[in-house]
Amino acid sequence: MDRRFCGLAPALLLLVLLPIAAAALPHRPASNATGAQINSNSVLVALLDSHYTELAELVEKALLLQSLEDAVGRHNLTIFAPRNEALERDLDPEFRRFLLEPRNLRSLQTLLLSHIVPARLGSPQWPLPDSRPARHPTLGSDPVHLSVAPGSGLPAVDSAEVVRPDDVVRPDGVIHGIQRLLIPRAVQEDFNRRRSLGSIAAVIPEGAPEVDPRTHRLKKPAPPAPAGSAPALPIYDAMAPGPSLAPAPAPGPDGPRGHFHGEALVKDFIHTLLHYGGYNEMADILVNLTSLAVEMGRLVSEGYVLTVLAPNDEAMAKLTTDQLSEPGAPEQIVYYHIIPEYQTEESMYNAVRRFGKVRYDTLRLPHKMVAQEADGSVKFGQGDGSAYLFDPDIYTDGRISVQGIDGVLFPAEETAPASTTAAEKKVVKVVAKPRRGKLMEVACSMLGAFGQHSHFSSCQ
């Protein structure tokens, strides 16, 4: 009996342990299943171990490792990695602080995913210099456009040049080193919106004073107005009396009526011009060559709105020395490109489509800016001196709107009427020498008889 039990026990034990062992065996997923462990030779591992340490650190802080592992398991990736200097020294400290705030995690993820294309794009896939830019969707919200930079001839993605093409090549992707960070429009608008909301002062609303246009004196105190409403003082009276010769008479941002921090908003849009690329000359004129940035900040602080038509660097390079050497010439050029209204690309295009030609007031009195619809865009000016809306809505925060154009605009020269002749144009004033006539000689002889001719200069 003991022998039969000893022979039966191993068999029973095997029958009991077989189902347990089968359930305990791990299920091996398919090689292409989502969530599979990535290979050590993957492009994602290469990015984390590469010299792009700043980008790798941001990817970890944005909690994107799992999402990128899933993406690299489905298809190849092309990563445009900014160099470390672009993220350390060239990036605005306030913008970097904005990205690293926990509440702005979605903006950081959108920015980083806009640098990754779910396809393999090596150097052979780049468009030719004469062809149109190639558009490719990204893992983020905005697509990227591949082209060739006209000046340097280097491959470019949007406004950033590719300084190290095919820097890291792996079987499932490629990494290109780019010169600067790509900032999607949604992230830039979110940053501008946070800056604008944080700069509104919690003060008792007060309207700007009313000025009699005939005497330029205060008529009566303006009634209370809600914060951010249009001031009663015309913008031309609030401007400085000369091109950057004196501050505007309106109070500054720290005054009781400073509903908006105009200096911060102007600084923000100038930084946006620099980050956008291609508008460095315009930013240099506003900050270094003139003090118009300070005056614009004072106007915005008092509640005025401005639309800046910013010529790009190619258009500014065509200006001659004579056009900039005259005193006040840079200020007058910029004044003609500033419209005292808040206009966007959509509002201007709808206006010219509806009314044909639209005349906008400018800060350079009495000249106006003529806009019309042409080739599906907005055209400013007339004739050879016209310019097209090239980069719409570079900066829009509700107070300042910046629209990029491809030319420098000048007002139409005032011409003389056609009826004016050459003889009327050249008028010479001739002063005739006084002569003594017969009647004067008779009068002087009569006065001489009475001894009174010495009192009259005509008889001397």
Q: What is the pLDDT of residues 342-356, one digit of tens each?
A: 999 999 999 999 988
pLDDT for the residue numbered 192? 84
Average pLDDT over residues 27-41: 53
CA dist 68 to 174, 261, 284, Å? Answer: 14, 40, 40
Helix then strand then coil, % of the chain, to nearest 5: 40, 15, 45
pLDDT for the residue numbered 222? 54
Q: For the chain, what percent of residues have pLDDT higher than 90?
A: 29
Residue 400 has φ and ψ, to the nearest 5°, of -125, 130
pLDDT in tens, 181-238: 998 988 888 888 877 655 444 444 455 566 777 777 766 655 666 655 667 667 766 6
Which residues, other chains included, contact 144 with Cβ-Cβ below 8 Å and sequence gap of 6+? 80, 114, 117, 135, 136, 138, 157, 158, 182
Half-sphere exposure of 160 (CA within 13 A, CB side): 22
The tokens for 216 are 């330029």
Name residue, tokens 């893992």: 139
pLDDT for the residue numbered 455? 52
Confidence of residue 117 (pLDDT cuts 50, 70, 90): very high
CB 376 within 8 A of CB 390: no
pLDDT in tens, 297-307: 888 888 888 99
Average pLDDT over residues 350-363: 91
Angle between helical axes of 105-113 and 53-61 (0-180°, round to 10):
130
**Sign of the torsion formed by the C-alpha atoms of 57, 62, 67 and 72:** negative
User: What pTM value is reported for the model?
Assistant: 0.42
Average pLDDT over residues 53-79: 90
CB atoms within 10 A of CB 276: 23
Query: Coil, strand or helix: which one is 189?
Result: helix
306-311 and 400-405 strand pairing: parallel
Which residues, other chains included, contact 168 with Cβ-Cβ below 8 Å and sequence gap of 6+? 43, 46, 47, 50, 174, 175
Bridge-partner residues for 32, per DSSP? Answer: none
Task: Say how far apart CA 118 and CA 59 lie, in whole Å.
Answer: 16
The tokens for 103 are 């509440």
With 50 as the cut, is the pLDDT of residue 111 above it? yes
The tokens for 21 are 């062992």
CB 201 within 8 A of CB 261: yes
Q: Which amino acid is it at 51?
A: H
Q: What region does 328 belong to: left with phi over 0, alpha with psi -120 to 50, or beta?
A: left
Closest C-alpha to 192, from 298, 104, 318, 279: 104
Which residues, other chains included, contact 46 with Cβ-Cβ below 8 Å and sequence gap of 6+? 168, 170, 175
Confidence of residue 39 (pLDDT cuts 50, 70, 90): confident
Name residue, tokens 């910029």: 334
CB 195 within 8 A of CB 188: no
Which residues, other chains included, contact 342 with Cβ-Cβ below 8 Å and sequence gap of 6+? 305, 306, 307, 398, 399, 401
With 80 as the cut, is the pLDDT of residue 51 above it? yes
With 70 as the cut, is the pLDDT of residue 56 above it? yes
DSSP characters for 244-276?
Answer: TSS--SS--TTSTT--S-HHHHHHHHHHHHHHH
Confidence of residue 415 (pLDDT cuts 50, 70, 90): very low
Q: What is the signed CA dihedral for 179, 185, 189, 192, rounded to 10 degrees?
A: 20
Half-sphere exposure of 457 (CA within 13 A, CB side): 1
Q: What region does 145 belong to: left with phi over 0, alpha with psi -120 to 50, or beta?
A: beta
Lowest mean pLDDT of 113-127, 363-377, 395-409, 424-438, name the range.
Answer: 424-438
Query: Coil, strand or helix: which one is 361?
Result: strand
DSSP characters for 94-154?
Answer: HHHHHHHSGGGHHHHHHHHHTTEESS---GGGSPPTTSPPEEE--SSSS-EEEEE-TTT--
